[in-house]
Amino acid sequence: MDFIDLPALWFLLIAFLFLGYFFLEGFDFGVGMLMPAVSRDDVDRRVVINTIGPVWDANEVWLIVAGGAMFAAFPEWYATLFSAYYLPLLLILLALIARGVAFEYRSKRDDPTWRARWDQAIFWGSALPALLWGVAFAGILNGIPIDADREFVGGFLDLLHPYALLGGLMTLSLFLLHGGVFLTLKTSGDLVERARAYARRLWWPAALTTAGFLTWSYVNALTQDDFGVVPDLVPILALVSIASVSWLLREGRDGFAFLATGATILLTFGTIFANLFPRVMVSSTDPAFDLTIRNASSTDYTLTIMTWVALALTPVVLAYQAWSYWVFRNRVSRDRFVGASTGGDDGEAGEDASG
Amino acid sequence: MEALELARWQFGITTVYHFLFVPLTIGLAPLVAIMQTVAYRTDDERWWRLTKLFGKLLLINFAMGVVTGIVQEFQFGMNWSSYSRFVGDIFGAPLAIEGLAAFFLESTFLGLWIFGWRRMPRGLHLATIWLVALGTWASAYFILAANSWMQNPVGYAINEEVGRAELQSIGAVLTNANLGWMFAHTIVASLATAGFFVLAVAAYHMLKGNDVRIFRGTAAIGLITALGATGILGFTGHEQAQLKTDLQPMKIAAAEAQYETESPASWSVFAIGSLDGEELLFDVRVPYLLSVLATNSLEGEVEGINDLQSQAVAEHGEGDYTPNIPVAYWTFRVMIGLAMLMLAFGAYGLWQLRRGRLESSTRYLRYAIPMAVTPFVASSAGWIFTEMGRQPWVVQDVLLTADGVSPSVSLGEVALSLAGYTAIYTILLVVNVGLILKYARQGLGEERSPEDVGDALQY
């Protein structure tokens, strides 16, 4: 594959995987955070969880594949990033562990205390990653102390630059909004109205943090000279997109509103990745220590193999994942859970006969 | 105390923990698929009820394997960044392929299986559980390809200029001599785990007198799976031991605490005293057996630790190239001892079953319940042996474990993460075992149609 710039292609692929991850798990996180607020009773909570039940696991695999692709294509990027963001990633992992198990285990006992505890796990397990992913990606772009050996030489506080914190608040509020709009599409009855009401209120913080973050990024891009692409159009479209959400929600066009929140997430992370290119880790110590797609990549041989594997498998994966969304296109209704689940801990099959 | 030590403890604890859930998933997924296939073909309500019972147990277990798996992928970069830089060109590829080819498959189709019972034709729905099973097996293959490369690095060259190992042949990595037998060994061990698990659930209900007719058949499925798989384990283990005699002679010598090169070599059944080759107080040995096990010949030479240590010093410079001998020696024996116990227990059960006496053998049925724990202990011992037996190397003869750790991660950070994982894993283990016991005890339930089964499996 001599005719292709393989490291550039793999940068694009990894960006694609993270964008897909944030689009998909973005609404999972939002749904998880909004679950306590929009629900009036346990049946509501089960409806809310079941809106993402069939898909959250596959959505999370986007992250695993992004991490694996980073390891395979840019081992230096993977090594520097993961060891530098040790504590944030630890928190993210603990959160994802608790949250993933909570989905599966919550309804396995008909005990309010048991369920309330798992609901806490779902809430915090969604909120922490939603915040920390923004902190991490904004921080990567803004730069952290990295030495000539590509090792992180800062401390935890170096990861919490105000720009990174703003990035975190932006992802937190964007994912909340994205999840709220998702719920208007996937629930039924009163839940739809409550979800829409939350979405309309959540639009404000999402719009403000997104506008603030993109403006700050733009100023950074103008005053620094070592960034790659100047993506004027991408952040502008992101702003148009987030602005349109408010109008679409008022008009009751929830489907378009969901596409618009999704587009905002894609365009914002698109801005981050475009600004980053061709760097993959920015050193705040010295631009000479930046990791780039040139000095951080695997050999052409490995990249060629991985390109063939990705070409062969990605279309198949996208096809069956799209099919699974088609299978579960209907709204989740309360009828499925009402009158069910009164079995108690020793209660034979009654507990499960949620028909 | 150094970060290195804690990072090793963390890797060991999180990996052994992860692998408590994985074998049951790998083994139980195809068994549930078979149950559903029979249910689909016969539309016999008994099989739908069984599919629901073991499907539910599979899901409770599956969740744990999924969430603990993410830690595995992330901790190479977090705790072992120097390792990741050194091997990433080779090691990253099977991990990425595992995600793309296996994890997407199993997660997407698991979602379709759990929630899709009322949403697609029954035949198509049946295909989803088979694809989940295929995904779990594919995942095992790719991750073992990565691990096999650490045991027996092939298809690479060291690039001195950038200081890393670089891939020369992906074909060599994916057909590593170590990989085929390791994969087979892992799959049959997983099937044995699932077989004993199914047997234990059936035994419990036979003792209680619940649905005895159905559970007698279930016990037969468990027994045949368990016994067949454990029998094959002997062969796959034997083939691996022979390979390792060639590829990792130190690991085999450590497994035997054999200090001197011997020909013919006897097999130590049990040794008391220091295993450092100095003062052996008590040792039961079977003559010739080690030669046969390791080389397939009565007189085959098996190299000793002392010779191997001097060879390693000559090749790699001063240093201690012997693994922790007591750990290697005892984990090897625990693995083999428990496998023998599983074999005997399974054979006796099948004999009772054939004579139509399984139901009345209450003592056997009572033992069958705790027996379900043995494959988990045996698998853990096997992994601890194979990983500890490779030390001090992380990549055999290529990279030392001590050279793989992250230089930028402090002792405090590793201590914090070790404490965090240990705490959450302990809590979740208690919760998981509690739920498995609860739903195993609950038995068949009333779900007599696929639609009812579906309603019982959703969140």
Predicted ipTM of the assembly? 0.94
- The amino acid sitting at A240 is V
Contact B85 A76 (CB under 8 A): yes
Closest alpha carbon to A281 in A129, A159, A155, A156: A159
A58 to B84: CB separation less than 8 angstroms, yes or no = no
If you search the block for the tokens 């409550």, which residue do you land on?
A194
Indicate the pLDDT class of residue B458, thresholds 50, 70 and 90: confident
**B86 within 8 A of A55, measured Cβ to Cβ:** no
The minimal CB distance from B93 to the residues A63, A104, A305 is found for: A305
What is the rounded average pLDDT of the residues B354-365?
Answer: 93
A 237-296 residues with CB < 8 A to B:
none
Q: Give the closest of A57, A67, A79 to B66, CB-based.
A: A57
d(CA B100, CA A310): 8
Q: What is the DSSP letter of A149?
A: T
Burial-class residue A78 by CB neighbours within 10 Å (0-12, 13-18, 19+). buried
Residue in chain B nearest A106 by alpha carbon: B459
In three-state secondary structure terms, A67 is helix
Separation between Cα atoms, residue A101 and residue B431, nearest integer Å: 10
Helix (H), strand (E), coil (C) string for chain B: CCHHHHHHHHHHHHHHHHHHHHHHHHHHHHHHHHHHHHHHHHCCHHHHHHHHHHHHHHHHHHHHHHHHHHHHHHHHHHHCHHHHHHHHHHHHHHHHHHHHHHHHHHHHHHHHHHHCCCCCCHHHHHHHHHHHHHHHHHHHHHHHHHHHHHHCCCCEEEECCCCEEEECCHHHHHCCHHHHHHHHHHHHHHHHHHHHHHHHHHHHHHHHCCCHHHHHHHHHHHHHHHHHHHHHHHHHHHHHHHHHHHHCHHHHHHHHCCCCCECCCCEEEEEEECCCCCCEEEEEEECCHHHHHHHCCCCCCECCHHHHHHHHHHHHCCCCCCCCHHHHHHHHHHHHHHHHHHHHHHHHHHHHHHCCCCCCCHHHHHHHHHHCCHHHHHHHHHHHHHHHCCCCEEECCCEEHHHCCCCCCCHHHHHHHHHHHHHHHHHHHHHHHHHHHHHHHHCCCCCCCHHHHHHHHCC
Could you tell me how far CA A69 lies from the centroid of its own chain?
Answer: 17
Place of tokens 């009333």: B446
Q: Which pair of structure tokens corresponds to residue B301?
A: 């030479």
Query: Is B119–A60 a contact, with Cβ atoms under 8 angstroms apart?
Result: no
List pLDDT tens digits, range A105-133: 999 999 999 999 999 999 999 999 999 99
Contacts of A313 in chain B (CB under 8 A): 97, 100-101
Local confidence band at A84 (pLDDT 50, 70, 90 cut-offs): very high
Is the pLDDT reported for residue B95 higher than 80?
yes
Best residue of B87, B104, B128, B136 to probe chain A, by most A CBs closer than 10 Å:
B104
Q: What is the pLDDT of residue A301?
A: 96
- Whether A54 shows a pLDDT value over 90: the answer reads yes
Q: Point out the least confidently predicted range of A50-59, A186-195, A328-337, B46-55.
A: A328-337
B114: chain A residues, CB-CB within 8 Å: 53-54
Predicted confidence band of residue A342 (pLDDT cuts 50, 70, 90): very low
Please state, in angstroms and rounded to a whole number, the distance separating the CA atoms of residues B192 and A10. 41
Angle at B34 between CA B22 and CA B178, to 5 degrees: 40
Question: Can you give the pTM of this predicted structure?
Answer: 0.94
Cα distance between residue A137 and residue A88, in whole Å? 11
Substitution target from A64, A122, A354 for chain B, most B beta carbons within 10 A: A64
Q: What are the phi and psi torsion angles at B286 (to 5°)? A: -105, 115
Residues 302-341 of A with CB under 8 A from B: 302, 305-306, 309-310, 313-314, 317, 320-321, 324, 327-328, 336, 340
Of A264, A276, A279, A260, nearest to A234 by C-alpha is A264
Question: Are the C-beta atoms of residues B437 and A345 closer than 8 Å to each other?
Answer: no
What pLDDT does residue A350 have?
35
Contact between residue B94 and residue B142 where contact means Cβ atoms under 8 Å apart: yes
Kindly determine whether residue B107 and residue A58, on different chains, have CB atoms separated by under 8 Å: yes
Compute the count of residue pairs across chains A and B with CB atoms less than 8 Å apart: 259
Contact between A345 and A111 (Cβ < 8 Å): yes
User: What does the alpha-carbon distance between residue B128 and residue A46 come to, in Å, rounded to a whole number?
Assistant: 24
Note the pLDDT tens digit of each residue in B281-323: 667 777 777 777 777 777 777 888 999 999 999 999 999 999 9
Task: Give residue-wise pLDDT tens across range A221-274.
Answer: 777 765 555 567 888 999 999 999 999 999 989 999 999 999 999 999 999 999
Q: Is A53 on the interface with B (CB under 8 A)?
A: yes
Q: Of the ranges A67-81, A299-313, B263-277, which one carries the lowest mean pLDDT score?
A: B263-277
Across the range B316-341, mean pLDDT stands at: 94
Handedness of CA B275, B281, B283, B288 (dihedral sign): positive
List all residues 6 or more positions away from A198 whose beta carbon is below 8 Å from its beta carbon. Answer: A34, A37, A38, A180
Smallest CA–CA distance from A335 into chain B, residue: B455
Closest Cα to residue B229, out of B178, B177, B293, B184?
B184
B408-441 pLDDT tens trace: 999 999 999 999 999 999 999 999 999 999 999 9
Contact state of A352 with B455 under an 8 Å Cβ cutoff: yes
pLDDT (0 to 100) of residue A355: 31
pLDDT at site A128: 98
Q: How far is A208 from chain B (nearest CA, A)?
A: 33
- Name residues 109-138 of chain A within 8 A of B (Cβ): 109
What is the C-alpha to C-alpha distance for residues B155 and A149, in angstroms, rounded to an integer? 27
Pair B448, B49: CB distance under 8 Å: yes
State the Cα torsion A113-A118-A121-A125 to the nearest 10°: -160
- Please tell me if residue A41 touches chain B, with a CB cutoff of 8 Å: no
Comparing alpha-carbon positions, the chain A residue that sits nearest to B406 is: A83
What is the tens place of the pLDDT at every residue in A263-314? 999 999 999 999 898 999 999 999 999 999 999 999 999 999 999 999 999 9
pLDDT reported for residue A231: 64
Distance from the Cα of B217 to chain A's closest Cα (Å) equals 21
What percentage of chain A reaches a pLDDT higher than 70?
93
Q: Which residue has the tokens 């009164």?
A: A342
CA–CA separation, A300 and A297 (whole Å): 9
Rounded to 5°, angle at Cα B143 from B139 and B145:
115
| B166·A299 Cβ contact <8 A | yes
Percentage of chain A exceeding pLDDT 90: 85
Asked whether the beta carbons of residue B424 and residue A336 sit closer than 8 angstroms, the reply is no
Nearest to B459 among A50, A93, A152 (CB): A50
Of B82, B90, B112, the CB nearest to A54: B112
Cα distances (Å, whole numbers) of residue B57 to A261, B62, B329: 38, 8, 35
A98 CB neighbours in chain B (<8 A) are 424
CA A280 – CA A15 distance, rounded (Å): 11
Share of residues in chain B with pLDDT > 70 (%): 97
The closest alpha carbon to B118, from A27, A338, A335, belongs to A335
Q: What is the pLDDT of residue B262?
A: 78
* Structure-token match 């072992």, residue found: B80
User: In 3D, which of B293, B309, B433 has the Cα closest to residue B372?
Assistant: B433
Query: What pLDDT is attached to residue A354?
Result: 36
Q: List CB contacts (< 8 A) between A298 and chain B.
A: 88-89, 92, 167
Distance, in Å, from the CA atom of B4 to the CA atom of B378, rounded to the nearest integer, reads 27
Q: Indicate the domain borders of chain A.
A: 6-331
Q: Are A353 and B455 an interchain contact pair (Cβ–Cβ within 8 Å)?
A: yes
Provide the 8-state DSSP code for A281.
Answer: E
**B318 phi and psi, to 5 degrees?**
-55, 145
Name the one residue in this structure whose structure tokens are 């295929």.
Answer: B134
- Residue B276 pLDDT: 62
